[in-house]
A and B are shown apart, each in its own frame.
Chain A
Amino acid sequence: DAGITQSPRHKVTETGTPVTLRCHQTENHRYMYWYRQDPGHGLRLIHYSYGVKDTDKGEVSDGYSVSRSKTEDFLLTLESATSSQTSVYFCAISESGPSEMNTEAFFGQGTRLTVV
């Protein structure tokens, strides 16, 4: 199994509070991604990183920020959590960009976030 650890695995938080989710990898892969998965919507990309301090927005980036100060860590922050951000969040890593042929994305086990 690829070495990806997401923390926490479960979290319940109140509306308006800041929340930070952590993704840690031991594979030294260049690319890291944050997705959210919701019924009826599938997996949607929030932000991704293509190197230390190099990040870009995905399809559903509003209300989220990310940081990558080290190759192995990619943090996702909800500055002020809302109920619409209740979801399962997945971190993924890949050695090269998905636009390059045969690049596999390895996923973490997910973080279930509930905003009440």
Chain B
Amino acid sequence: TQLLEQSPQFLSIQEGENLTVYCNSSSVFSSLQWYRQEPGEGPVLLVTVVTGGEVKKLKRLTFQFGDARKDSSLHITAAQPGDTGLYLCAGADSNSGYSTLTFGKGTMLLVSP
């Protein structure tokens, strides 16, 4: 079973601060996805990264896939209360033969006004 470790587990910051959350594994993934989940809702896809070293930006969110495709990071600039939620990373392995995603346990982000 491939494991994805996310850190930190919980992050509480003030509006306007910057933050980075991490998703690490000892396994290589063919692609990695980041989802955000709000209370009472299902996760919603933010981005998919495929190429080692790839950087993608989504407004104030910057996603990076590690060169070895074992880790990823999500950086948020000038966080806003609307960014509050559970951030999940999920990895897919095209070589495993399994048509499933492996999810990390998530980072719970709370942004206070």
A59 interfacial contact with B, CB 8 Å: yes
Is the contact region of chain A dominated by helix, strand, or loop, or is it mixed?
Answer: loop
Number of A-B contacts (CB under 8 A): 73
Contact residues of B with A, CB < 8 Å?
1, 30-31, 33, 40-45, 48, 50, 88, 90, 92-101, 103-106
Contact residues of A with B, CB < 8 Å?
31, 33, 35, 40-45, 48, 50, 58-59, 90, 92, 97-110
Q: Tell which of A98, A99, A110 touches B42, judged by Cβ atoms closer than 8 Å.
A: A110
With A and B bound together, what is the CA distance between A96 and B28 in angstroms? 21
Is the contact region of chain B dominated by helix, strand, or loop, or is it mixed?
Answer: loop
Q: Tell which of A40, A45, A106 touches B100, judged by Cβ atoms closer than 8 Å.
A: A45
CB <8 Å contact, A43 and B43 = yes
With A and B bound together, what is the CA distance between A78 and B48 in angstroms? 33
> What is the minimal beta-carbon distance from A10 to any residue of chain B, in angstroms?
11
CB <8 Å contact, B99 and A105 = no
- Name the residue in A31, A59, A92, A105 with the highest tally of chain B Cβ atoms < 10 Å from its Cβ: A105
